[in-house]
Every structure is written in C-alpha cells, then in structure tokens.
Amino acid sequence: MFGTQSQQASIIQLDHFIGNLMRQMTGKQFNLVIYADHGMSDFQFIVDPDRAMAQAAAGYALLCCYPNLYLRDPARAEQVATELAGSDEIDFAFYRSGPGLVIGVHAGGKVLFSAGPAGIAFEHEGKDPFGYSDLGYAGEPLSDQSWLDLTAGASYPAVPVQIFRYMESPLSGDIVVVIDPPKGLLTPTCPAGCHTGLTDSSVTVPVLLVGPDIDCKAIDDHFWLHTLYRDVLQIDPSQLSAVDREPHYATVSSRGISLAVSPARQLYVRANVNDEGWDVLGEVSIARTFNTRAWVGAGIAARPTLEDAAAKTPGSSIQAALSARAEVFLGPLVLDWQNTLTSAGRSSRVSIRCEFKSGSLVEWVHPSQLRLGIMW
C-alpha cells in the first residue's frame, strides 16, 4: 500500500523478530517451523480483473471473483477465454477442454496441459511463456514432484501442476484467469501484490525448519508446501497429540490457600479460601492472543454482608458470583488481574507470579501478600 520501501522495511522487521526467536531457542528442545502461505510480488500498477471478466463474458457471467469466472453456459468458455487473453488486465485465461485437458490462452498463443497415468504434459502453440524448453523439457509427462524439481529455480515454478490441480476441483471456475507481476490486484481495502500470479515471487515461499527432531540434511531444498507435515516432517496431522487440559495450580500463604484444577482445555474450576471468605468458580477462556488470555466465570462465594461489614461483626453469607480474569504472559512472569462480583460488592485482585521449569511458583498479590505454590 505504501510502496516498495515499506515492503522492504516490513521484511527487515520480520527478520529481526525471527532472529530474536532463534536466539531464545538456542540450546532448548523446541522444533520450529515457520512458513508463508504465498509469496509477495512488487507491482507497478493495479488492475481490476473482475471488471474485465464481467465485460468479456457479458450476459453469460454468473459470478466473477478473481481468479474464477463462472458462466451460465460453460460451452462458451473458449470464446470468453480468448477474449480475456486479449485484454490488458489479464495475462492468462485457462479453461477445461474435455477430460484431462486444460487450455490456457495468452497474448502470444496457447498452452495445453494434459494429464495421464504418467503425469502432466505441457505443450504450447506460439510462444512458450514459461521458458520450459530452455530447461530441456521436450513435452513428456512429468509427476508433480518432477515438475517441481525441473522448474523450482525458474521464473514460473511448476505452472502445469498449479493450474491443472486447481482446475480439477469442481468448485473452480469455468475459466480461471491469472494476472502476473508487475500487475497488482485491486482489493476493497488496498492494492495487493500477493495471491495473484504464477511467478516465483508470487508462489515461492520461504520455509524455516529448526529443531532437535528435524534433520535438515535429509530434506530437499524444494518441496510442495502441502506435503510439509506428512511427507517431509513425517508427522500425521490426524494423529497429533493434543493438550487435554490447562496446568493445575495450588498456592498457599499466611492468609489462605488457592486451588485451580482444569478438567479440560480452556476450562478451570478455582477454589479460594482466605480471611475474607471463600469462593468456588468455574471459568471458561473466551479469548487468547500470543501473550494474553481472557476468562469469564460464575459460581458461589461466601462473603460478609454489607451490614456485617459495617457493624464489624463476624459472619458471611453464600452468594452468587461472577468473575472476569485476564492474564498477560511475559516469559516466566504472568500478570493476573481478576474481578469478582457478588451481592456484597466487587472485589479485585492483581498478582504477578513467576513460574519455574521445576513446577514451583512464587506469586506476589497486591499489595503485600506472598504465595508459594506448585503447578503440574
């Protein structure tokens, strides 16, 4: 939105963050996987492909939403694609031409992708827009991985696979259009130089793999991103172990004890007993970011009534209670703020606890209470 210098500054900032993270990980038993979901292309001017598709399809357009054009009459796909390829906005217009064949039209001719048992073959009529012949390709069918191996360093990585596999889906458009850099996509909020083209800057993404369980020497320099977990890292996404609960806590001080037990993820049952009374609350997590978390809860509490408090007489009554709690995580430090509302009034508690790797913890409760505890 703010030009090339802004994009470069963002990349430098991201690199700085990742560098800090890597330094934090030094000597620790973590596996780190960072990747992008698309590339990022600089663009010099913006186009509106939806408008171009609507004009080319005229009354035959059912829906135009880049990169898909859905037609009322799919038989007109070749005619509309040819017209689109002649427009300034569109670089390629692809359509299905019978089983196992996808044809793409561009300003310099046509490209044909045909699929068979041995893989996908590429032909071109007129100019070869992808330059595959310069790589030694002679029209033979190749597997998805072979296409990637051949073209990973080219300006147009594995276009036959990208397009053919996309158009295999019955949900893709009757025509699939592509705009390449330096053209950028006009979006409702700002121009976008991503998720647009077929070039290396549009579809090639960086992947960072670090950790004791990751053997980078055994991993190819280039692979399909959707194969990262199952094939590259040998992780079955359907068999991942999941955390089944939150940590349990128990703390004690000269003024009382506190117990927090988690029966399931994002749930807590908390009990507190101190010189002001006691409460039992059930909490559920309602929001979480990288270093903050918010909880709401309900339960019962025993508090002195307003009359007893005013008369300074002992005694308490059981009342319904509502609570709201927020946590801020700063490494081993956790800032915990809690508000509890009963008919006796509102009480607030602010604490800072330090959680040690051994499972022990020290908690300071404002203004002057110190608690010791364990977590497991």
pLDDT of residue 39: 81
Single-letter code of the amino acid located at 270: R
Whole-model pTM?
Answer: 0.67
Tell me if residue 294 falls in helix, strand or coil.
strand
Q: Measuring CA to CA, how many Å separate 21 from each of 18, 31, 35, 373? A: 5, 12, 14, 29
Q: Where are the alpha helices (DSSP H) in 267-314?
A: 306-311
| Overall average pLDDT of the 129-149 stretch | 96
pLDDT of residue 299: 97
Please state, for a pLDDT cut of 90, what percent of the chain lies above it. 65
Calpha distance 52→74 (Å, rounded): 18
pLDDT of residue 314: 56
Residue 297: CB atoms within 10 Å: 21
Within 8 A by CB and 6+ apart from 213, the residues are 31
Measured distance between the N- and C-terminal CA atoms of the chain, rounded to whole angstroms? 48
* Residue corresponding to tokens 């300071």: 364
The pLDDT tens digits of the residues spanning 63-106 come to 999 999 999 999 999 999 999 998 889 999 999 998 899 999 99
The pLDDT tens digits of the residues spanning 214-247 come to 888 889 889 999 999 889 998 887 777 777 899 9
Q: Are 321 and 298 in contact (CB under 8 A)?
A: yes
Calpha distance 358→13 (Å, rounded): 34
| Overall average pLDDT of the 236-264 stretch | 89
| Overall average pLDDT of the 310-328 stretch | 81
pLDDT tier for residue 374 given thresholds of 50, 70 and 90: very high
Q: Are 253 and 372 in contact (CB under 8 A)?
A: yes
pLDDT of residue 315: 59
Residue 309 pLDDT > 60, yes or no? Answer: no
The candidate with the shortest Cα–Cα distance to 201, out of 251, 232, 155, is 155
| Overall average pLDDT of the 359-372 stretch | 95
pLDDT of residue 26: 74
The candidate with the shortest Cα–Cα distance to 356, out of 340, 373, 335, is 373
Calpha distance 78→84 (Å, rounded): 10
Residue 339 pLDDT > 80, yes or no? Answer: yes
pLDDT of residue 194: 64
